[in-house]
A and B are shown apart, each in its own frame.
Chain A
Amino acid sequence: MFPYYEPDWSVLPPELNRRFNPAFNMATIKQAINEAVERVRMPTPMRLRDLIRQIRAARTAAEERSVVNKECAYIRSTFREEDSVWRCRNIAKLLYIHMLGYPAHFGQLECLKLIASSRFTDKRIGYLGAMLLLDERQDVHLLITNCLKNDLNSTTQFVVGLALCTLGAIASPEMARDLASEIERLMKSPNAYIRKKAALCAFRIIKRVPELMEIFLPATRSLLSEKNHGVLITGVTLITEMCEVSPDTLNHFKKVVPNLVRILKNLILAGYSPEHDVSGVSDPFLQVKILKLLRVLGKNDPEASEAMNDILAQVATNTETSKNVGNAILYETVLSIMDIKSESGLRVLAINILGRFLLNNDKNIRYVALNTLLKTVYIDTSAVQRHRSTILECLKDPDVSIRRRAMELSFALINGQNIRTMMKELLTFLEKSDSEFKAHCSSGIVLAAERFSPTKRWHLDTLLKVLIAAGNYVRDDVISSTIQLISETTSQQAYITLQLWQALSVDVCDKQPLTQVAVWAIGEYGDALLTAPIEDGMNFERPTEEDVINCYQRILWSPQNSSTTKQYTLMSLTKLSTRFTQTNNKIQQIISSFCSSLHIELQQRGVEFSQLFGKYNHLRSALLERMPPMEVVRQNDVQTNGDMDETEDKTSESSPQHYTSESNALLDLLGPSDTSELDVISSTAIPSQPIPSSNNQDLLDLLGGLDPMPMPASNTDIGVILENNNSSLPLNNNQTANFLSGDILNTNLINEKHVPVITAFDKNGLKIVFAIERLQDSNTVSINMTATNSALSNMTDFLFQAAVPKTFQLQMLSPSGTIIIPSGQITQVLRVTNPSKAILRMRIRLSYVLDGTPVQEQTEVNNFPTDIWD
Chain B
Amino acid sequence: MMQFMLLFSRQGKLRLQKWYVAHPDKLKKKITRELITTILARKPKMCSFLEWKDLKIVYKRYASLYFCCAIEQDDNELLTLEIIHRYVELLDKYFGSVCELDIIFNFEKAYFILDELLLGGEVQETSKKNVLKAIAAQDLLQEEETPQGFFEDHGLG
Task: State the A residues within 8 Å of B (CB).
Answer: 2, 5-6, 8-14, 17, 19, 30, 33-34, 37, 44, 47-50, 52, 56, 85, 88-89, 92, 95-96, 99-101, 105, 119-121, 124-125, 128, 131-132, 135-137, 156, 158, 161, 164-165, 168-172, 193, 196-197, 200-201, 203-204, 207, 229-230, 233-234, 237, 275-276, 278, 283-286, 288-289, 292, 324-325, 327-329, 331-332, 363-368, 398-402
If A101-B29, A278-B82 touch, does A207 touch B125 (CB 8 Å cutoff)? no
List residues of chain B with CB within 8 A of the CB of A398.
45-46
B17 with A99: CB separation less than 8 A: yes
A92 with B77: CB separation less than 8 A: no
If A124-B142, A168-B119, A172-B22 touch, does A5 touch B156 (CB 8 Å cutoff)? no
Which of A2, A19, A105 is close to B85, meaning CB atoms less than 8 Å apart?
A2
If A9-B63, A89-B157, A288-B79 touch, does A119 touch B105 (CB 8 Å cutoff)? no
Which of A5, A85, A193 is close to B92, meaning CB atoms less than 8 Å apart?
A5
List residues of chain A with CB within 8 A of the CB of B77.
364, 368
B34 at the interface (CB under 8 A from A): no
B55 at the interface (CB under 8 A from A): no
List residues of chain A with CB within 8 A of the CB of B40.
none
B14 with A99: CB separation less than 8 A: yes
Which of A49, A168, A325 is close to B157, meaning CB atoms less than 8 Å apart?
A49
List residues of chain B with CB within 8 A of the CB of A10.
99, 101
Min distance, Cβ B108 to any Cβ of chain A, angstroms? 6
Q: A437–B122 Cα gap in the complex (Å)?
A: 36
Extra contacts besides A17-B99, A49-B156 (5): CB < 8 Å: A13-B101, A49-B157, A158-B138, A328-B76, A364-B81
Min distance, Cβ A363 to any Cβ of chain B, angstroms? 4
List residues of chain B with CB within 8 A of the CB of A105.
25
28 CB < 8 A contacts A-B: A30-B153, A33-B151, A99-B107, A120-B142, A125-B156, A135-B19, A135-B24, A135-B25, A169-B119, A229-B125, A230-B124, A230-B125, A233-B124, A275-B127, A278-B86, A283-B126, A284-B82, A285-B82, A324-B82, A327-B78, A328-B76, A364-B81, A366-B47, A368-B77, A399-B45, A401-B46, A401-B49, A402-B47
Which of B18, B47, B76, B112 is close to A331, meaning CB atoms less than 8 Å apart?
B76
Which of A9, A37, A368, A400 is close to B65, meaning CB atoms less than 8 Å apart?
A9
B134 with A161: CB separation less than 8 A: yes
If A135-B25, A364-B47 touch, does A196 touch B142 (CB 8 Å cutoff)? no
Which among B18, B22, B47, B121 has the greatest number of chain A C-beta atoms within 10 A?
Answer: B47
If A52-B104, A364-B78 touch, does A233 touch B123 (CB 8 Å cutoff)? yes
List the B residue with the shortest CB-CB distance to A46: B157
Which of B29, B88, B102, B105 is close to A5, meaning CB atoms less than 8 Å apart?
B88
List residues of chain B with CB within 8 A of the CB of A286.
126
A169 with B47: CB separation less than 8 A: no
A324 with B81: CB separation less than 8 A: yes
Q: A131–B120 Cα gap in the complex (Å)?
A: 11
A34 with B153: CB separation less than 8 A: yes
Q: A634–B101 Cα gap in the complex (Å)?
A: 74
B31 at the interface (CB under 8 A from A): no
List the B residue with the shortest CB-CB distance to A37: B151
List residues of chain A with CB within 8 A of the CB of B121.
204
Min distance, Cβ B3 to any Cβ of chain A, angstroms? 12
If A85-B154, A120-B145, A276-B127 touch, does A9 touch B99 (CB 8 Å cutoff)? yes
A19 with B96: CB separation less than 8 A: yes
List the B residue with the shortest CB-CB distance to A104: B25
List the A residue with the shortest CB-CB distance to B120: A168
A128 with B63: CB separation less than 8 A: no
List residues of chain A with CB within 8 A of the CB of B107.
95-96, 99
A169 with B120: CB separation less than 8 A: yes
Main secondary structure, interface of B, reads mixed
B157 with A229: CB separation less than 8 A: no
Min distance, Cβ B67 to any Cβ of chain A, angstroms? 12
Q: How many residues of B contact A (CB 8 A)?
A: 75
List residues of chain A with CB within 8 A of the CB of B130.
230, 275
Q: A134–B16 Cα gap in the complex (Å)?
A: 16
List residues of chain A with CB within 8 A of the CB of B137.
158
**Cβ contacts B92-106/A at 8 Å (1 or 0 each):** 100011111110110
**Cβ contacts B9-20/A at 8 Å (1 or 0 each):** 000001111111
List the B residue with the shortest CB-CB distance to A165: B115
A8 with B99: CB separation less than 8 A: yes
B150 with A30: CB separation less than 8 A: yes
Min distance, Cβ A723 to any Cβ of chain B, angstroms? 50
Which of A88, A164, A172, A368 is close to B78, meaning CB atoms less than 8 Å apart?
A368
List residues of chain B with CB within 8 A of the CB of A17.
99, 101
Q: A692–B157 Cα gap in the complex (Å)?
A: 105
B53 at the interface (CB under 8 A from A): no
B101 with A14: CB separation less than 8 A: yes
List the B residue with the shortest CB-CB distance to A47: B157
List the B residue with the shortest CB-CB distance to A51: B157
List residues of chain B with CB within 8 A of the CB of A161.
134
B64 with A135: CB separation less than 8 A: no
Which of B22, B88, B104, B156 is close to A135, meaning CB atoms less than 8 Å apart?
B22
List residues of chain A with CB within 8 A of the CB of B129.
275
List residues of chain B with CB within 8 A of the CB of A207.
1
B62 with A233: CB separation less than 8 A: no
B120 with A400: CB separation less than 8 A: no
List the B residue with the shortest CB-CB distance to A329: B79
List residues of chain A with CB within 8 A of the CB of B81.
324, 328, 364
Min distance, Cβ A287 to any Cβ of chain B, angstroms? 9
List the A residue with the shortest CB-CB distance to B33: A101
Q: A85–B146 Cα gap in the complex (Å)?
A: 11
List residues of chain B with CB within 8 A of the CB of A33.
150-151
Q: A6–B62 Cα gap in the complex (Å)?
A: 7
Q: A128–B116 Cα gap in the complex (Å)?
A: 12
Min distance, Cβ B35 to any Cβ of chain A, angstroms? 14
A19 with B97: CB separation less than 8 A: yes
A6 with B63: CB separation less than 8 A: yes
Q: A470–B76 Cα gap in the complex (Å)?
A: 36
List the B residue with the shortest CB-CB distance to A120: B141
If A6-B63, A10-B99, A234-B122 touch, does A48 touch B151 (CB 8 Å cutoff)? no
Q: A136–B102 Cα gap in the complex (Å)?
A: 31
Min distance, Cβ B128 to any Cβ of chain A, angstroms? 8
* A-B CB proximity, top 10 nearest: A47-B157, A9-B63, A168-B120, A328-B78, A8-B97, A136-B22, A204-B120, A328-B79, A363-B47, A200-B119
List residues of chain A with CB within 8 A of the CB of B123.
233, 237, 285, 289
Q: A196–B124 Cα gap in the complex (Å)?
A: 6
A158 with B124: CB separation less than 8 A: no
Q: A203–B123 Cα gap in the complex (Å)?
A: 12
List the B residue with the shortest CB-CB distance to A6: B63
A234 with B98: CB separation less than 8 A: no
List residues of chain B with CB within 8 A of the CB of A136.
22
